[in-house]
Chain A
């Protein structure tokens, strides 16, 4: 029998958690709903889950705190999807810094939640990442660049911010998570298709050339992203993880 993904839903609003639970169940997932951090801990003691959907604003221990706690403990590999009430860039960043894999702003559509859950699950399974960047405010350094994985932009040596479009960021992130590894176009396409899967409509080649431009990489003699004839691309630079304070 196929593995059925088990989703744990943590939300203090009874109706919301039950509606979400029912919807996901209807769509072929296994779900468990709990009301707060205490119940969540108790449940996780006995049963491992595949993904946790968690509200940020909860009485008692809030989502951010629970998220950090999970990341520090034995569930650090369990993907977490945050539900936030505020559509604010800083909230998103804090959520991601606390170790969430994705976030969704309330009010959300259940089918959107389902799509995100599937995307996160696929992302974490597709290729076991060489680097798991989950701790707060991580920066990835390669060559003269640093990638801020929470604010999703590049920083050069002078701390000047170089913005990336959503697609560019996702592609770069895939490369940085799998350095020195040849990735073919299908893999890249799959890995970069996150939340905007249906909207994403650019060929990988075009994206790579844009990304090279962004990195000031010479297309004929690229230093960062090299073309591997008839196979795909490889990110050929060593990647280093920096702490939050840097």
Chain B
């Protein structure tokens, strides 16, 4: 069977794998080396003992009077071999090749003085016997039960302990190595130069501290660029306002004429662009406004009534009686921009407030205008982007209204999505996560 060996995807598992496998292999090697070494020396000692012991014991038994031999047997008995008077058990004649090493040792020890025959005794516990005749002609047998090398029974426990230690240390090391990386990735992902700058902790191992420091300074740089951009826009607009004011005042002294109207419209256009530019710069830079608890229904009511008082076709559908914590001017600006956009393209707008759902708020601004080509739905939220059909002056605008709305929606911790409605028209949905006000 073939199964694909795949390199694990996460750095943590790769490192763990490398550490664990190499540590296990090296550990296993040194353990087997030691085990082999010990086995060899133990075997040599044991066989050496066996040789001298067997020759001594057989010599003792040989010299003892036949009647006393039985009494001596327990004293000559050892852990894995003993002496039996008589022929011993019947067995199978031993095969020369597969003989245990002990056979050779016994043969070495007494084979020159006695004729030896070896038999295997089959059974659940396999052992063998060596048969020989003492000098007085009485037979004895040496019953040998070869044993495995004695292993202490705490050894597996120690082995398991070592393994656990290895696993633990690997996990710790890998965690130490990868955690700062995860933290950094998380920080980069959540990096929002508009929001309040939150610095990474600059402590820890040198490499980690360096990375954190680099990240923090990058964050500061981005923030300062954004601030600079805002300041430039604000400065330009401020400096433009005085000449525009003068021009407008002068224009008002002109005789009524088509030229005057054109000049007036141009000035208004410049003025509008300047204002929207500043508003955009500010929305990107994030709102400085403090949030407060607002009654949502009255908030939307007042907005709609302000439009109605100016004879604009704006309706409100839905009430939900909730009190939310938000920045009212920013929220108002988002909605005003969306409603203005709807009025511009459709001549009327409808605000729709979704029923109260815990933690979420959805306000839709709907119109029955031409809608926006599906391909352009994302792009119209970019600053200075205008849909193809609005390139003409009448509906053109600055191309900043929706961009401002989106930036502010983000600054409010929400999102703005555009979609085309069934039956024609555009739906701009503002979704906000609501922090439940205290005491509600």
Binding site for B on A (CB under 8 A): 13, 15-16, 19-20, 22-23, 85-87, 89-90, 106-111, 153, 156, 158-168, 196, 199-202, 210, 214
Contact = CB atoms under 8 A, between A and B. Distances in A.
B271 interface: yes
B293 A158 contact: yes
Interface of B: 238, 241-242, 244-250, 252-253, 267, 271, 275, 278-279, 288-289, 292-295, 298-299, 301-303, 305-306, 309-311, 323, 328-329, 437, 439
A22 B246 CA distance: 13
A19 B250 contact: yes
B96 to A, nearest CB: 104
Contacts of B329: 89
A202 B246 contact: no
Contacts of B292: 159, 161
B250 to A, nearest CB: 6
A167 B305 contact: yes
A111 B251 CA distance: 11
B323 A165 contact: no
Q: Which of B299, B309, B439 has the most CB of A within 10 A?
A: B309
Contact of B295 (A23, A106, A160, A199): A160
A163 B302 contact: yes
B223 to A, nearest CB: 21
B295 A165 contact: no
Contacts of B302: 163-165, 168
A23 B253 contact: yes
B293 A166 contact: no
A143 B279 CA distance: 38
Contacts of A86: 238, 278
Contacts of B289: 89-90
Contacts of A202: 309
Contacts of A89: 289, 329
Nearest to B292: A161
A19 B247 CA distance: 10
A167 B241 CA distance: 29
Those 8 A-B pairs whose CB atoms lie nearest each other, nearest first? A165-B305, A19-B249, A165-B302, A107-B245, A163-B302, A107-B244, A163-B299, A161-B294
Q: Which of A90, A153, A160 has the most CB of B within 10 A?
A: A160
B275 A87 contact: yes
B432 to A, nearest CB: 16
A66 B247 CA distance: 27
A148 B264 CA distance: 37
A214 B298 contact: yes
Nearest to A202: B309
Nearest to B310: A199
Q: Which of B242, B294, B328 has the most CB of A within 10 A?
A: B242
Given A87-B275, A107-B267, A161-B293, A16 B253 contact: no
A16 B242 CA distance: 8
Nearest to A17: B249
Given A13-B246, A165-B303, A196-B309, 9 more contacts: A19-B249, A90-B289, A106-B245, A107-B244, A107-B248, A109-B248, A163-B295, A166-B309, A201-B311
A188 B294 CA distance: 28
B328 A161 contact: yes
B279 to A, nearest CB: 8
